[in-house]
């Protein structure tokens, strides 16, 4: 772990990241010693900084910090936390904030390879995402809704929980974004009211647009989910998980474009045994 460019494990307890969740984070997949989708993560971090009025750090410096945590050829997860640092008077940010940067390396999660190949089981969470356009899309440190939602199940066979917004529209998983396939077309909920704009979600949208099959952002209802041919979840670590069942309904994974599953694979950690060798 590195804190503000130095090896360390302790943070000033006065940090606004602790007091108010006044900061942002990024979770990056690292394979062969290189962070994946680096530009996309940096772009999202910069957007988040702009939203919160935190000065965005130099991406070159961030890359150096990340590399200092990564051994050559390593497969790991890097979490960057950027806070507004200490100071200010109560909620009021300091006039000249000195932000805090924490870089932590984690062992990749060891999910079963079948979750990539055959799909995952997903529950419907009771905890809802509040509608807050001012923070929607931003990967900030106020994550109690996700903590409460993830507390709703303990069955290790369940991979993810789907969260709805305050008005009951399905929006995303606790740690992944949601896509639907219907008649060969791709759909994903917009994230202007709530939710986190995942870098893998953005990547899927770019890949699909390049293929001439653009993803449509549109409000999703439970009716849409029921009529979907297939569902899948994305994030920067897993890449893409087909949904095998959601809230008791089964889904085929065959509707998910094969080209997309293959295109996403090298952009994320995926299973330890590559899906390619098992397909």
Residue 19 or 182 having the CB closest to a copy of itself: 19
List, in order, residues 6 or more apart from 189 with CB less than 8 Å away: 169, 170, 171, 172, 178, 195, 217, 218, 219, 220
Task: Give the closest residue to 126 by CA, choosing from 171, 179, 164.
Answer: 164
- CA distances 112 to 69, 88, 117, 119, 271, Å, are 26, 46, 9, 10, 7
Considering only residues 167 to 206 of the shown chain, the ones binding a copy of itself according to CB under 8 A are 174-175, 194
The 3-state DSSP class for residue 167 equals coil
DSSP state of 255: T
CA angle 165, 171, 172 (to 5 degrees): 120
According to CB under 8 A, which one of 61, 130, 209, 276 is a site residue for a copy of itself? 130
Q: Between 134 and 258, whose beta carbon lies closer to a copy of itself?
A: 134
Among 47, 143, 182, 224, binds a copy of itself (CB under 8 A): 143
With CB under 8 A as the contact rule, the residue among 139, 150, 201, 244 that binds a copy of itself is 150
What residues between 67 and 126 interact with a copy of itself by CB under 8 A? 81, 83-84, 89-93, 102, 104, 109
The yes or no reply on residue 8 touching a copy of itself (CB under 8 A) is: yes
Q: Is residue 83 within 8 Å of residue 94, measured between CB atoms?
A: no
How far is 243 from 162, CA to CA, in rounded Å? 11
Of 121, 128, 169, 201, the one binding a copy of itself (CB under 8 A) is 128
Comparison of 61 and 130: residue with beta carbon closer to a copy of itself: 130
Stretch touching a copy of itself by CB under 8 A, among 142-150, 216-224, 226-234, 271-279: 142-150
* Site of interaction with a copy of itself (CB under 8 A): 1, 3, 8-22, 25, 52-53, 81, 83-84, 89-93, 102, 104, 109, 127-128, 130-132, 134-135, 140-151, 166, 174-175, 194
């Amino acid at each position: 772990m590195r804190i503000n460019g130095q090896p360390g494990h302790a943070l000033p307890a006065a940090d606004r990241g602790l007091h108010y969740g006044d900061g942002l984070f990024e979770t990056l997949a690292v394979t062969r010693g290189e962070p994946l989708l680096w530009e996309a993560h940096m772009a999202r971090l910069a957007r988040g900084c702009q939203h919160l009025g935190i000065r965005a750090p130099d991406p070159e410096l961030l890359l150096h910090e990340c590399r200092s945590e990564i051994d050559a050829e390593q497969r790991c997860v890097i979490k960057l936390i950027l806070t507004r640092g200490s100071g200010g008077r109560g909620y009021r940010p300091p006039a000249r904030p000195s932000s805090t940067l924490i870089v932590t390396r984690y062992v990749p999660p060891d999910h079963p390879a079948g979750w990539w190949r055959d799909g995952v089981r997903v529950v419907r969470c009771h905890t809802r995402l509040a509608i807050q356009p001012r923070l929607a899309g931003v990967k900030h440190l106020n994550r109690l809704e996700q903590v409460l939602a993830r507390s709703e199940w303990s069955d290790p066979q369940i991979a993810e929980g789907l969260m709805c917004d305050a008005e009951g529209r399905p929006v995303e998983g606790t740690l992944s974004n949601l896509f639907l396939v219907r008649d060969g077309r791709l759909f994903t909920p917009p994230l202007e009211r709530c939710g986190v704009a995942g870098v893998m979600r953005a990547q899927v949208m770019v890949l699909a647009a390049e293929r001439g099959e653009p993803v449509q952002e549109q409000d999703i209802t439970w009716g849409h989910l029921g009529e979907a041919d297939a569902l899948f979840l994305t994030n920067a670590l897993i890449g893409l998980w087909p949904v095998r069942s959601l809230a008791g309904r089964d889904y085929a994974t065959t509707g998910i474009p094969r080209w997309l599953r293959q295109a996403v694979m090298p952009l994320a950690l995926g299973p330890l045994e590559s899906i390619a060798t098992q397909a």
